[in-house]
Structure 1
Amino acid sequence: MAFPQRKNIKEEKRQQLVIVGSKNPVKISCTDVGFHHAFDSAFLVEGLNVSSEVEDQPIGDEETYLGAFNRSKNAKMVFPEADFWVGIEGGVDEKDGEMFAFAWVVIQNRNGKIGKAKTSTFFLPSVISDLIKGGMELGAADDQVFNRENSKQGNGAVGILTNGAVNRKEYYSQAVILALIPFLNENIYI
């Protein structure tokens, strides 16, 4: 995957602190990758368990976005000393009777600027979507169908269904970088 050229976010020498509103290792790692590819700056990325204030399995674009926003907002409330707060929330929706998966990324900085982006989408097989419609989370449905354990903290549905051709960290990292666009272009994103 090609990444954009790095840009200095500030001429500061201190390491900037990024708090991810989750302890999920994939979400922390993809945020670390995204920030370091986008900026030529020092970052420390840490995860924090905070509530998304939405259902465990968000359904629809609005609920999934709200979950990501709430994670960044709640991370900021719990740890206001940071420089950036990141919320990542995976969700599902339906189109023409088929279910697809995606995630939203919301990033806030200490100046009140907000960046947001959505991953690409991919459609789920009915054996998984039927389990989700029955009340199961996507990760639990993946574990059941593919005989795995805790896949949502690993390669997730996108990695399993693409046989590893797209891994979840890269999938989310791209959306993290896209959500950083307003911070990369502060002069035109006011």
Structure 2
Amino acid sequence: MKLCVASTNPAKTGAVASALEKLGIQAEIKGQAADSGVSAQPFSIEETRSGAINRARHALLSGCDAAIGLEGGVFELEGKLYLCNWGAIATAEGAVYIAGGAQVPLPAEIEKHLRAGEELGPVMDRFARETGIRHHKGAIGILTAGKLNRVELFSQIVILLLGQWQANSD
């Protein structure tokens, strides 16, 4: 099976590889850039979810058996911003499966920069005094004191996606 990952971000491609390994699925993984069709910083559950679906559908056009799109974003609930993550898998047969991940509140210091129009990745880099957080631990790694990283978070979403695909293929 040839599986496209709609990103070249090591956290996202690593999440797919990790999920496949946990499930004992053999697949050729191809990471590729794919347009999300949404804002650089998605600012709602709907926009983040749409970004994942768009990425999966876009990557599928390269001739894979299935393509996985993963998208991180934020959303507002009761006046507070929360981190959210969504994934989608689009299959060559035309099916699309969708799953969401953990949601955690963002500190006020991060929230103010996002509301001013900045993207989460660079804001988190400054907040944690590190570089390239989005490529490994992610915001979730900082917000959970390293108890969960971006690869693990997205891996859980990929397992949900692959499980749905398998459940509907039998």
Alignment-derived partner of residue 138 in structure 1: 120
Map of 1:110 onto structure 2? 92
Distance 1:157 1:163 in 2: 10
> Residues 114 and 182 of structure 1 are in contact (CA less than 8 Å); yes or no, is this contact kept in structure 2?
no
- Aligned-residue CA RMSD in angstroms? 1.3
Normalized per residue, the structure richer in helix is 2
CA contact (8 A) 1:116 1:180 kept: no
Q: Answer yes or no: is the 8 Å Cα contact 2:8–2:32 preserved in 1.
A: yes
1:41 aligns to 2:25 (yes or no): yes
1:18 is matched with which residue?
3
Question: Does 147-156 or 123-132 show the bigger shift?
Answer: 147-156
TM-score, with length taken from structure 1: 0.85
SS at match of 1:89: strand
Structure 1: gaps of 5 or more residues: 1-15
Which residue of 59, 71, 82 corresponds with 2:55? 71
Structure 2's unaligned 5+ residue stretches are none
Cα distance between partner residues in 2 of 1:187 and 1:170: 25
How big is the shift at 1:37? Answer: 2.2
Q: Is 1:61 the equivalent of 2:45?
A: yes
Counterpart amino acid of residue 48 in structure 2: T
- Is 1:176 equivalent to 2:158 in the alignment? yes
User: Aligned to 2:168, what secondary structure does the other structure show?
Assistant: coil
Is structure 2 residue 65 aligned with structure 1 residue 83?
yes
Q: Does residue 134 of structure 2 align to residue 152 of structure 1?
A: yes
Amino acid at match of 1:59: F
What are the Cα deviations for residues 133-166 of structure 1, in whole angstroms up to 9, with x where unaligned? Answer: 1111111110111211111112011101212111
- Bigger Rg over Cα: 1
SS at match of 2:154: helix
Alpha-carbon displacement from aligned partner over 1:94-129 (angstroms, at most 9, x marks no partner): 111111001110001111122110001011000001
Distance 1:35 1:107 in 2: 13
Residues 42 and 74, structure 2, Cα contact 8 Å, conserved in 1: yes
Identity %: 32
User: What is the Cα deviation at residue 187 of structure 1?
Assistant: 5.5
Matched residue pairs, number?
Answer: 170
Aligned AA (2:6): G
Query: Runs in 1 of length 4+ with deviation above 3 angstroms?
Result: none
TM-score calculated relative to the size of structure 2:
0.95
